[in-house]
Homo-oligomer: A and B are copies of this chain.
């Protein structure tokens, strides 16, 4: 049970010191009481190698806390400074065309570069030692939006070496790897782990087992990078919540696994920022242009509540037009208030707006905040203040376990990206279509990983399109007594990305009466006829059945 709190993201390094106190006063006046700081400030925290300058941040914390605001500190590792890149140029990530991803924006590091990981340890340690026990500091955010700008996978020399090691640990012998991948197929057999290339720039598609392992590896590198920070922070800043701000719809790494090392999950909610690029119809987009897809936020609240094992924040809440979509409409009047209340209703502990004042410079100068660049109020300020007043009249948030669990499995995203049923097939869309249906039926839903623990004690478990029939999961489902709904392609592959010897749906046969049925088009208004998406039995079993225990 926690009291819902409103917060805001603030960048004291962007503004004259003379503005800080007045900003803090106005935040408090608007009903905000938590402020995120520091996640992009490395070049100010360490202007030259080893020369820390923490005084300005200490001063900012003092001013904000003096007005009654609590602080969330971000680790600045999403923005390694120029001098660090000059020191170790091979820390830069490499894209799938072999091009180095240059300094000049953010997230330019390769997760597999041990030198950079040590730099990350160093700056996080220094910050945690300096600020970790301040009463003002109530939480930490690790890095910022892992995976943003397609940065999970890197094709650098560091990534190649780390992937080889990862394979060695997983398979122990190269023969085991050759068998698991089926490398005999096109004489792709390897003589040793040093032979392993990254699966980019192959003449035609790489082996799907190779691709899936590379994605698992890439995800594991993110998990490991985050864990190193979390362990330092937990040791040096005890009692503070450790979070990471995930981005919705990003699926290149396993958010559940990163969440396992956090105290609570957080996500950045931009209801208008991704609608234009979604697969929805033009009509749908026009209808929801200024309020957002009504199920999209709900889905992610339910997902990240699961990632945080019941605890989640909205670390960045859209307060006005954003700057990155093809067109960026202003939210409808009242939309910001609606989104905020919706997050709390889903169990959010904190909703924090991004950002306090619109920056007049650099990449996001067209991203609105609660204030205009000249400090006049933007429309969202009043909406936030109104929510703050309304929260006074509401009780604390209590998380409860839903009867209905909907499984969202990151490995299945990767599997079906590698080998979709048809070109327009999307595992995310499949799960989301089930989610929409459940919402329409008025149900409360937990979005959960494909684990025995997560599906225990449910009345109804939906697990559409799981690429493999994990024995533990199947056993738990069988024992659970829950009604189980599977979907197309369930159990089509083994963990190694092979067709299972018992043929799809493999062990799910223990749960369901398999009948091959016609599947409806998952994409509203898609002109591709359903029949096109039909394969035959082991070329993509369609199995959809409801078993009542």
Contact = CB atoms under 8 A, between A and B. Distances in A.
Residue picked from A42, A99, A105, A149, most chain B C-beta under 10 Å: A105
Interface in A171-210: 181-191, 195, 197, 199-210
A423 interface: yes
Given A106-B186, A210-B104, A372-B503, A289 B204 contact: no
A101 B185 contact: no
Given A282-B527, A536-B379, A182 B362 contact: yes
Interface of A (DSSP majority class):
loop
Contact of A535 (B366, B419, B502, B536): B366
Interface in A311-348: 320-321, 323, 326-330
Nearest to A41: B187
A184 B100 contact: no
A278 interface: no
B362 A188 contact: yes
Contacts of A191: 48, 82-83
Interface string A36-63: 0000111110011000000000000000
Given A204-B107, A282-B527, A185 B363 contact: yes
A120 interface: no
A82 B527 CA distance: 44
A266 interface: no
Residue picked from A43, A81, A93, most chain B C-beta under 10 Å: A43
Given A104-B202, A204-B106, A321-B535, A82 B188 contact: yes
A282 to B, nearest CB: 7
A44 B536 CA distance: 32
A374 interface: yes
Contacts of A423: 326-327
Interface string A13-49: 1100000000000000000000000001111100110
A187 to B, nearest CB: 4
Nearest to A184: B13
A327 B535 CA distance: 9
A148 B423 CA distance: 21
Contacts of A48: 191
Contacts of A197: 102-104
A88 interface: no
Query: What is the count of identical protomers in the complex?
Result: 3
A374 B536 CA distance: 14
Nearest to A330: B536
A382 to B, nearest CB: 14
Interface stretch (A111-119, A229-237, A451-459, A537-545): A537-545
B498 A365 contact: yes
Interface stretch (A353-361, A385-393, A396-404): A353-361
Interface string A99-140: 111111111100000000000000000000000000000000
A422 interface: yes
B105 A186 contact: yes
Contact of A368 (B82, B210, B503, B539): B539
B330 A538 contact: no
A1 interface: no
Nearest to A14: B184
Contact of A186 (B40, B422, B529): B40
Q: Which 4 pairs show the lowest CB-CB distances between chains A and B? A: A182-B361, A185-B362, A43-B187, A326-B423
Interface of A: 13-14, 40-44, 47-48, 76, 79-83, 86, 93, 97-108, 148-149, 151, 181-191, 195, 197, 199-210, 282, 286, 289, 320-321, 323, 326-330, 358-366, 368, 372-374, 378-379, 419, 422-423, 496-503, 527-529, 531-540
21 contacts: A43-B188, A44-B187, A81-B189, A82-B195, A83-B191, A97-B99, A105-B202, A105-B205, A181-B361, A182-B360, A185-B364, A204-B363, A206-B363, A282-B527, A286-B529, A289-B531, A321-B535, A330-B534, A361-B496, A366-B539, A374-B501
